[in-house]
A and B are shown apart, each in its own frame.
Chain A
Amino acid sequence: MKNLLILGAGTAGTMMLNKLARTLDPSEWHLTIVDKDENHYYQPGFLFIPFGIYEKERVVRPKRDFFPDGVEAIFAEVERIEPADNTVVLTDGRHLPYDVLIVATGTTPRPEETPGLKGPLWYQDIFDFYTYEGASALADKLATWEGGRLVINLAETIFKCPIAPLEFAFLADSFFTEKGIRDKVEILYVTPLSGAFTKPKASAILGDLMEEKRIHVVSDFYLMEVDNDEKKLISYDGHEVRFDLLVSIPVNMGADMVENSEMGDDDDLNFIPTDKHTLQARDYDNIFVIGDATNVPTSKAGSVAHFEGDILLKNILHHIHGEPLTAEFDGHANCFIETGFGKAALIDFNYDVEPLPGKFPYPVVGPMSLLKETRANHLGKLAFEWAYWHMLLTGKHIPVSTELSMRGKEVDPVA
């Protein structure tokens, strides 16, 4: 009996477990998945919790409900991988041998990486919203907040779901408008990048959104520390931004066990060097990496994990059969951008093709529109929640192609 071991039962790990359970011969392969948390969180829903659009309970379900029969689930923390011995060591001392290992341990916000961020004001006037705890605490805060200066800050340029902070800003504008206090709220979007939108076509088409919604962009601001006494952000070049309420997107890092295994990248962010096409770990033939845990140059997002899933399944089968890894991931990502007031935009891109306008998934009829705010896109985002629980996690086919398609895209739009 051979062992295929998956570390991490989030979006990517659970999906792979289901795909592999249907594909591998159970008389030959024993499948095991390890995670420290028994709850699965629908992370796209975190965005809606602060504004009371979703109740927090709505985004949580037991992980076990999404595991197929006949696999072993272990709820425990991973201490490290010992690639030389093909073994994973758990913090409780157990050793798990593997023939093939899939690392799907994701990324988490690390506010403690920035001096003063996780200080006295943490969950008083400073919040994250990429965690269940942060989103829930922020919901309580916003329910009674009477206005002032709301600052949304990205501490780093590489983080999970790069669209979500923009969506947060748009939904905040919508939320305070509907509450009748928009005039009492100043919204600032403070980013280390050169603007809220940086790709040419997206900037040209969506660039005005920030101005229309009276969201002030402070660009090229790289956070050094947070001053809790004076409630201000301080950048490395000495600029300061005052806040009444800070919504932070902290530095994102991969799992500690990656560092313990000395498998991380040179950035010390614990992302594993991974072949961007085959998804094989750069340094180990029988280790594959999927989702946010990799260092591949595309977005850290559920849609990316989903598209990587088909490629990874094929390459694991190639590996098992001793064949060359011929399936190639193209960096495909597909993200809704909630823009408030019941509308959303949609982007579809990969390693080589920037977000372009047009219709999706079918030319002319859509029904969704790329790089354009529509009601249909918003309904698409809401409908995705059902598809996530019932199709994506369980590894079923979703009718969107794995490779980016140019069908319906306008290459040279008339602006």
Chain B
Amino acid sequence: MATLTYDLHTVDVNDEGYLTDPHQWSLELAHEMAREMGIELTDTHIAVLNFLRERYLAEQPLTIRRIGKSGIVTIKEFYGLFPGGPLKVSSKIAGIPKPASCV
């Protein structure tokens, strides 16, 4: 298992940089990770991250569609906040596993 060190925090990660223990996550860490990806977290970003973590810890499936129904952002806004693959990028910053299919 590898570790990654951001400004102040060292965390356990898999080979793609996703946290292997979601409990090592903190908001400070999220700011540091986001900055490294060129994203400055706003309150809306943080609301999305909290939503993702809540859903993940409750073992509920995460889809972009669901984020669009969260009342926090529309799907287009979600893409604007986390450019590239928004669910992939936001999951990494939220300290939860990368969304995957069954294979």
Known: A199-B103, A206-B103. A222 touches B61 (CB 8 A): no
Interchain CB contact under 8 A, B102 and A299: yes
Known: A194-B88, A236-B76. A266 touches B61 (CB 8 A): no
Interchain CB contact under 8 A, A297 and B83: no
Interface centre among B84, B88, B99, B102 (most CB of A within 10 A): B102
Task: Mark interface residues in B48-89 (1 if CB within 8 Å of A CB, else 0).
Answer: 000000000001110111100100000110010001110010
Interchain CB contact under 8 A, A193 and B69: no
Inter-chain CA distance A314–B83, complex, in Å, is 48
Inter-chain CA distance A176–B64, complex, in Å, is 34
Residues of B contacting A337 with CB < 8 Å?
Answer: 103
Q: How many A-B residue pairs have CB under 8 A?
A: 74
**Interface residues in A200-231 (C-beta closer than 8 Å to B):** 202, 206, 219-220, 222, 224
What's the least CB distance linking B74 to chain A, in Å? 9
Residues of A contacting B60 with CB < 8 Å?
Answer: 265-266, 295
Which listed residue (B79, B88, B102) contacts A349, Cβ 8 A? Answer: B102
Assess whether A162 is interfacial by the CB under 8 Å rule. yes
Which listed residue (B59, B66, B84, B101) contacts A198, Cβ 8 A? Answer: B101
Assess whether B31 is interfacial by the CB under 8 Å rule. no
Which listed residue (B66, B83, B99) contacts A193, Cβ 8 A? Answer: B99
Known: A194-B85, A236-B79. A347 touches B103 (CB 8 A): yes
Interface centre among B61, B64, B65, B103 (most CB of A within 10 A): B103
Kindly state the interface size class of chain A when it binds its partner.
Answer: 35 or more
**Interface residues in A322-356 (C-beta closer than 8 Å to B):** 333, 335, 337, 347, 349, 355
Interchain CB contact under 8 A, A156 and B88: no
What's the least CB distance linking B57 to chain A, in Å? 13
Assess whether A268 is interfacial by the CB under 8 Å rule. yes
Assess whether A166 is interfacial by the CB under 8 Å rule. yes
Known: A158-B61, A198-B101. A237 touches B83 (CB 8 A): yes
Interchain CB contact under 8 A, A276 and B59: yes
Beyond the given A236-B79, A267-B65, A267-B69, could you list 18 further A-B residue pairs with CB under 8 A, ordered by the A residue number? A157-B63, A162-B102, A192-B64, A193-B99, A198-B99, A198-B100, A220-B84, A237-B79, A265-B60, A266-B66, A266-B69, A267-B61, A267-B63, A267-B66, A295-B60, A297-B61, A299-B102, A337-B103
